[in-house]
Amino acid sequence: MTQSDLIVIGGGTGGYMAAIRASQLGAKVILVEKEVLGGTCLNWGCIPTKALLRGAELVSLVAKSQEYGVNVGEVTVDFTRMMARKQQIVQTHVTGLQGLMRSNGVEVIKGVATLASPAQIQVDTGTGEKQTLEASRIILAPGSVAATIPIPGSDSSAVITSKEALQLTEIPQSMVIIGGGAIGVEFSTIFAGLGATVTVVEMLPQIIPTEDHELALFLQDSLQKKGIEVLTGTTVSAIEDEAGGEKSVTVKTGEGERKIKAQMVLMAVGRRPNTEGLGLEGAGVGTERGRIVVNEKMETGVPGVYAVGDAIGGILLAHVAGAEGEVAAENALGKASQIDYRVVPRCIYTMPEIAAVGMTENQAREEGFDIAVGKFPFMANGKATVLGERDGMVKMVADAGSGEVLGVHIVGPHATDLIGEAALCMKMEGTIEEILSTIHAHPTLTEAIREAALDVQGLAFHIPPRKRR
């Protein structure tokens, strides 16, 4: 039997961050991972999708290069090379993680882990023998898997999830994407940008349903201008074979039923906790609708057993899992730590990008706040004009009385980079006045954040003044 101070099950963002933090605090740590370090984010999610998105961005940029005074020849996509670059990027970071584990003294064991008790786990290493590990503290970070919905015909090999989409060997000529959340709209941007005919089907009244309605409408319009068909308030009732290998997707819209033909169907309806076979029930770890139940310290109902990341539900984002991993490790080793979910940045990598932190305008009103809203379009920003990316805006929601910033929503160039300033401001309970008194460099995209704050007071410099009531 191998003993340690702490065992981490799962080597994704939440797991490896927990392992490193525990090691920093002086613990002897063992991390068990059944596949590859980095988990879904690094291997089948965040990083590989952004690598492909970068290719789609270059196609778009080169297509309008004459606007910049640069003439190029015909643009073609070498998808094999693009996928190879994607995999090289992934492998580079997997190798980096392996080095980080070694340099932090974290022992990594490859195998399938099962809880034998609150202090023991069994690891099937695939050699025919099981290894027993023991520790007084365990952190569960098993992650999530792609969710599916039971649609007749969805068991076809032409119906894929995000994981299979990242293993394609050629660009599909046409694709129906079921789900208009972050995963669905990101893949629609990638494949449409590489030349596929794409339709996005979303059951709810708006795409990216958890985000500000105004930004969702802006994104929908932007996707449609790129030739992507977006159907909201629409359900899929059947997927059937067509002659020539195509699929016929039957959808029900507010205007009736129709069929959409496509070479491939991508199921992008979210993710679900990956807790099957973990031995939770036998160890007394409670679950609720498949997710592991934890308190604000990331501790389960079993003392000494913690859980983090997608497996506990909540906000299924890699950076949230990483933060939860840090908190769990700190609490497991005697510190008092807690997450402020109020200021989690949410990023959607479309073209243009979308990023947000805090409450939407509607949420703030529903919470009973008397709010003031400011907006500033990127078309009035010098840097955006220079970049040739003038579409979008910054929208700021603030408490009308105190001026405290309640939410910031950005659609436009480098939105996912810009949102960091807003998250820091909100974490510090910053106000409109504090943003206004901070000089922002010119010419930069960050000026749009200050101008949106100015517009909360109706005092923006680079858009016409509001009409006085």
pLDDT for the residue numbered 243: 82
Tell me the per-residue pLDDT of 204-226, one tens digit each, with 9 for 90 and over: 999 999 999 999 999 999 999 99
pLDDT value at residue 128: 81
- Sign for the CA dihedral angle at 225, 226, 232, 236 comes to positive
pLDDT in tens, 238-278: 999 988 889 999 999 988 999 999 999 999 999 999 999 99
Residue recorded with tokens 């491939």: 264
For residues 400 and 377, give the distance between their C-alpha atoms in angstroms, rounded to a whole number. 21
Q: What average pLDDT score do residues 85-104 get? A: 98
pLDDT for residue 18? 98
Instruction: Quote the mean pLDDT of the chain.
Output: 96
- Nearest one of 35, 90, 268 to 165, comparing CA atoms: 268
Amino acid 129: pLDDT: 83
Report residue 399's pLDDT band, with 50, 70 and 90 as the boundaries. very high
Residues contacting 294, CB < 8 A, separation 6+: 300, 306, 307, 308, 312
pLDDT tens profile 297-345: 999 999 999 999 999 999 999 999 999 999 999 999 999 999 999 999 9
pLDDT band at 468 (very low <50, low <70, confident <90, very high): low
Instruction: Supply the pLDDT for residue 344.
Output: 97
Helix or strand (DSSP H, E) at 68? none
| CB-based contact 7:121 (threshold 8 Å) | yes
- Which residue type is seen at 271? R
d(CA 275, CA 286): 11
| φ, ψ at 393 (rounded to 5°) | -165, 170
Report whether pLDDT(469) > 50.
no
Distance in Å from the first CA to the final CA of the chain: 76
Percent of the chain with pLDDT over 90: 94
pLDDT digits (tens, 9 = 90+) for 49-90: 999 999 999 999 999 999 999 999 889 999 999 999 999 999
What's at 464, amino acid-wise? P
Question: Which member of 93, 440, 442, 462 is catalytic?
Answer: 442
Please state the φ and ψ torsions of residue 368, each to the nearest 5 degrees: 90, 10
Residue located via tokens 């089907």? 201
- Rounded Cα distance, 294 and 282, in Å: 17
Cα–Cα distance for residue pair 139/86, rounded to 1 Å: 31
Set out the domains of the chain in order of their start, with CATH numbers: 2-144+272-341 (3.50.50.60), 159-269 (3.50.50.60), 352-456 (3.30.390.30)
The answer to whether residue 442 is catalytic is: yes
In the predicted model, what is the mean pLDDT of residues 160-183?
97
Tokens of 237: 């009732």
